Amino acid sequence: DAGVIQSPRHEVTEMGQEVTLRCKPISGHNSLFWYRQTMMRGLELLIYFNNNVPIDDSGMPEDRFSAKMPNASFSTLKIQPSEPRDSAVYFCASSTGTGHEKLFFGSGTQLSVL
Amino acid sequence: SQQGEEDPQALSIQEGENATMNCSYKTSINNLQWYRQNSGRGLVHLILIRSNEREKHSGRLRVTLDTSKKSSSLLITASRAADTASYFCATEAFLNAGNMLTFGGGTRLMVKP
């Protein structure tokens, strides 16, 4: 398996623009997570899906952020409008969803909002 | 918010020495996991220890868990330059029905050849 695939690897955009990050989880995994990593705040869980249904989105910073999982093999994280403080590395991770096991992370998307 | 806090934040050792990293957390847990992150890459799972376990080994890694002190340690024996990375502990809170992990701030380990 190719692992968790994220795209793009790098994104540079201007403040106010819409940004869409994409994730393909490992085939057969039922749980998907979006994390954000910054130097100041470390790794923060933004949202968690199980069987394509959002279970916990309490980590989503504000209404500018939205996430979808239209099917078991694809998820998006959208920021609209983007702000400089959104600059971070965004990671997608997946797990089998059977409970209490390890996460498999993608390589991340480095987002820079100018 | 960060459930786990690693100590030290940074560690520099010579190749062949042992590296010990500590993690403290605040609430009761189902399990505690350690991950490694190389610069510019995603996190890679190293080891998982359940709340009813006290010690676990995997190759050159040894993890201990003290639930009474709400702390864990990761020991890397006979370190190699390739072990240079950031190491994170992550906790799954007790009664968490899913797989939601809360990560600490990490320890940056540098192993000098």
Predicted local distance difference test score (pLDDT) of residue B25:
93
Q: What's A25's DSSP letter?
A: P
Predicted local distance difference test score (pLDDT) of residue B1:
44
Predicted local distance difference test score (pLDDT) of residue B34:
97
Predicted local distance difference test score (pLDDT) of residue A21:
98
- Give yes or no for A53 touching B (CB within 8 A): no
Helices (H) and strands (E) in chain A, counts: 0, 11
CB contact under 8 A, A45 and B44: no
CB contact under 8 A, B100 and A33: yes
A45 → closest Cβ in B33, B100, B105: B100
How many other C-beta atoms can be found within 10 angstroms of the C-beta atom of residue A45? 21
- Give yes or no for A94 touching B (CB within 8 A): no
- Residue of B99, B101, B103, B108 to mutate, interface with A, max A Cβ within 10 Å: B99
- Return d(Cα B6, Cα A53) in angstroms, integer: 32
CB contact under 8 A, B88 and A106: no
Question: Which residues of chain A lie closer than 8 angstroms to B92, CB-CB?
Answer: 100
Q: In this model, does residue B110 exceed pLDDT 80?
A: yes
- Return d(Cα B92, Cα B36) in angstroms, integer: 17
- Return d(Cα B90, Cα B25) in angstroms, integer: 9
Question: Which residues of chain B lie closer than 8 angstroms to A108, CB-CB?
Answer: 41-42
**Residue range A56-64: mean pLDDT, rounded:** 89
Question: A20-24, B90-94, B105-109: which has the minimum mean pLDDT?
Answer: B90-94
**Residue range A13-27: mean pLDDT, rounded:** 97
Question: Which residues of chain A lie closer than 8 angstroms to B88, CB-CB?
Answer: 43
Which residues 6+ apart lie within 8 Å of A65 measured at CB?
Answer: A46, A77, A78, A79
Tell which residue, A10, A29, A12, A6, has the closest CA to residue A76. A6
- Give yes or no for B61 touching A (CB within 8 A): no
The residue among A2 and B16 whose pLDDT is bigger is B16
Reported as a single tens digit per residue, the pLDDT across B34-72 is: 999 999 999 999 999 999 999 999 999 999 999 999 999
Q: In this model, does residue B84 exceed pLDDT 50?
A: yes
Per DSSP bridges, beta strands B55-58 and B5-7 are unpaired
- Indicate the length of chain A as a whole number: 114
Max Cα distance, chain A (Å): 40
How far B42 CA sits from the closest chain A CA (Å)?
Answer: 4
Predicted local distance difference test score (pLDDT) of residue B7:
86
Percent of the residues in chain A that have a pLDDT greater than 90, as a whole number: 84
- Return d(Cα A27, Cα B94) in angstroms, integer: 28
Q: What's A5's DSSP letter?
A: E
